Structure 1
């Protein structure tokens, strides 16, 4: 049984529609960042811990003491399938907030992935099971599990504010955060950026062939 606090978090977390998430998931993070005037782009040190990892989904936020993953375990009790668990871990690189075991549990729960302003471990194993994890560092050192932590609150993630339900997009360039209430307009603008860049690339290729 969850506590009243956790029940309240679940009830108050408003998520955007899957249609707009799907549109944003098809776009490069760079195009989305351009469409938002280069705002909403997380610190470039936070990257995928295995090649090809991609994130797309609404944020379930966790604010935790550096090096401690009690809050992540609590979040897994509440996050819904398709959520991205976004963790403000103080940028700590000394202890991994999660590894393969949490990754396996998250897959079984349908979690879309993790974005950590902190460290992770078991990078190769997480890649093998296909659990997307973006983190500031990789270390074999395990976490503490004592707390404290806060769930479902506004957090700072890689220098960007994140509210519960904001859309997280991550690819090989890094992570962008789209405010939930701006999701549809950002998708429109980012699709326009993508189409413009696609047309310019085609024009360059056509001109190259003409000159050959």
Structure 2
């Protein structure tokens, strides 16, 4: 049996708005280096940056039927996250499904599988992060779950968790941690800006990060050329 859950809880819009423009890498670091999807999840065009609540969808290998089911569950601002139940890089998604999602105000797609029609998707301005680009088509025969927890590209994602995606990759923030994580994001951004100013003035990272003694403790010696022995 498969289920499609129709009444998922989403974070409040104010919380989601905080993540617009946030960098995936910064969010990943701020929340303790967790939630990052696998390295192969790349945007089909750049620059691309989105953030929003996840609508989750399972698909069977080579079968995109459940994406059509998931489209109906999407609301404006959502991000559709798709995971094949077994590894498959067929082209599950193309410009027609993107047109349907755009009509519902969906911000983009995260899919641990293949996507096609990438030239048209780029012209449409519909961002997709995928495992592969592959022209192989799919069928519509097998059902699976919509809006249940999934593991997508190595990350555990529940419906309503916040997805942040940009040119560096994709990260998920648990819905109940979203506000506290964002406070850490702001702190990290401020800290980085301070260091950026200091580095731009010529100060060295060796001194800013107090690295010299640690390097010495590890055994690093500074010697003049010819004195290596």
Give the TM-score of the pair, scaled to structure 1: 0.90
**Residue 92 (structure 2) pairs with residue 92 (structure 1):** no
Aligned equivalents of 1:184, 1:157: Cα separation in 2: 23
- 1:133 deviation in Å? 0.7
Partner SS state of residue 10, structure 1: coil
Q: Which moved more, 1:164-173 or 1:53-62?
A: 53-62
**Residue 198 (structure 2) pairs with residue 203 (structure 1):** yes
Question: Deviation per CA, 1:180-199, whole angstroms, max 9, x where unpaired?
Answer: 00000111101111111111
Partner SS state of residue 59, structure 1: strand
Aligned pairs (5 A) from 1:133-144: 133-144=128-139
User: In the alignment, what sits opposite 1:32?
Assistant: 27
In structure 1, stretches of 5+ residues that fail to align are none
In structure 2, stretches of 5+ residues that fail to align are 204-229
Question: Deviation per CA, 1:110-165, whole angstroms, max 9, x where unpaired?
Answer: 11111001110111211111111110000111112112211110100111100110
Aligned equivalents of 1:137, 1:103: Cα separation in 2: 17
**Residue 123 (structure 2) pairs with residue 115 (structure 1):** no
Count of aligned positions:
200
Deviating above 6 A after TM superposition, structure 1's stretches of 4 or more consecutive aligned residues are none
Aligned pairs (5 A) from 1:33-48: 33-48=28-43
Conserved 8 A contact 1:115-1:135:
yes
**Residue 6 (structure 2) pairs with residue 10 (structure 1):** yes
Which residue among 168, 181, 191 is the counterpart of 1:186? Answer: 181
- 1:67 deviation in Å? 2.2
Aligned pairs (5 A) from 1:156-195: 156-195=151-190
Give the TM-score of the pair, scaled to structure 2: 0.84
More strand by share: 1
More helix by share: 1
Partner SS state of residue 193, structure 1: helix
**Residue 145 (structure 2) pairs with residue 150 (structure 1):** yes
